[in-house]
Amino acid sequence: MNLTVLGSGSVVSSAERATSGYLIESGPNKLLLDLGFGCFKNLQKIENPLDISAICFSHFSHPDHVADLVGFLFHRKVAVLKKMSVSNQLNLFGPAGFGEFFSNLTKAFPSFVLLPFPIKVTEIGYDKLQIFNFVVKTKPVKHSDGSAIGFRIESEGKAIMYSGDSEYCDALVDLGKEADLMVLECSSTRQKTDGHLSPEECAQIASQSNAKSLMLSHLYPETENLDLKGIVSKKFSGKIIKANDLLKVEV
C-alpha cells in the first residue's frame, strides 16, 4: 500500500502546497482522501483521474478539503461526452450531512455536477466499510463547523491513518493504533487554535498510538521556517516525515 500527497497545505495555499488531498493505492485499487483546491491539478500529474472511482471526504464545511470535487466531476463529464473510457460508477463518501451538501452543489453548479454517469453518495456511519480491497474505519473527530471524521485505511496487512482536520481527541489515538503511517494535520503552529493540532500534540498522539511513522501535513506558510521535526522528535521516537506535494510513501 502507498500514499501520495496531493496537497500538503492548509486553506492558505501557496505556490508550493495545494490544500488537502491524498491518493492511497493498493495494487490496482485507488482511493482518494479529500480533494481540496489545487489537488486535482496535482492528481493529473501522476494519475489518470478517469481511473478513480472512490473519494472519501473528511469534512465538507471547509473548501480546502472539497473544492476540487467540481473540477473533478466536470473533467469526467467531458470524458464521457468524448466517449473515453471511464470507470462505471463514481462513489463519494462523507460524514453526516454530506448528501445534503452534494445536493446543494448540484443546485449551485447544475451543468458541472449533474452528469451523464452514475454517482453514488454515501454518508459514512461511524463504523467500517469495504471499498475495493480497503477496509475503511472512521470515527468522529473534533473540528469546527459541522461534522468531521478521521480515517484508518487497512489493506495488505498495513494501516494508514488520516486525521482530516481535528484537535486532540481519543478518536485520533484509536484510529492510529500501531499504524504503519499516521498522517496528522499540523496547523496550530503559531498559537493554539481550536479544532487543530500543534506539533507537540501530533507527537503525543503518534506516541500514544505507537505509530511507526508520522507525517506532518496541512501546513500553513509560516511553518516553512519552523523545525517541525525537531519539535516532534522530543516526544515521538518513530520516523517523522514533513509532507510535501507529490511525496509518495510506501508502507
Residues in contact with Zn ion, total (CB under 5 A)?
3
Contact 186, 202 (CB under 8 A): yes
Q: Which of 145, 178 has the CB closer to Zn ion?
A: 145
**Contact pick of 165, 180, 201, 245 for Zn ion (by CB under 5 A):** 165
Minimal distance, residue 228 CB to Zn ion, in Å: 17
- Tally Cβ neighbours within 10 Å of residue 208: 17
Minimal distance, residue 196 CB to Zn ion, in Å: 8
Q: Which of 40, 180 has the CB closer to Zn ion?
A: 40
Give backbone dihedrals phi and psi of 203, rounded to 5 degrees, phi first.
-60, -40
Q: Tell me how far apart the alpha carbons of residues 243 and 251 are, in angstroms, rounded to a whole number.
A: 15
In the structure grid, which three cell numbers stand for residue 22, read together? 491524498
- From the list 78, 95, 220, 206, the residue with the least C-alpha distance to 150 is 95
In the structure grid, which three cell numbers stand for residue 110, read together? 447544475
Single out the segment in contact with Zn ion by CB under 5 A; choices: 45-53, 118-126, 159-167, 231-239: 159-167
Minimal distance, residue 101 CB to Zn ion, in Å: 14
**Contact pick of 7, 56, 64, 153 for Zn ion (by CB under 5 A):** 64
- In which element (H, E) is residue 103 found? helix 98-108
Single out the segment in contact with Zn ion by CB under 5 A; choices: 59-67, 80-88, 114-122, 233-241: 59-67
**Contact pick of 30, 62, 152, 242 for Zn ion (by CB under 5 A):** 62
Q: Tell me how far apart the alpha carbons of residues 41 and 72 are, in angstroms, rounded to a whole number.
A: 9
Residues making contact with Zn ion (CB under 5 A): 62, 64, 165
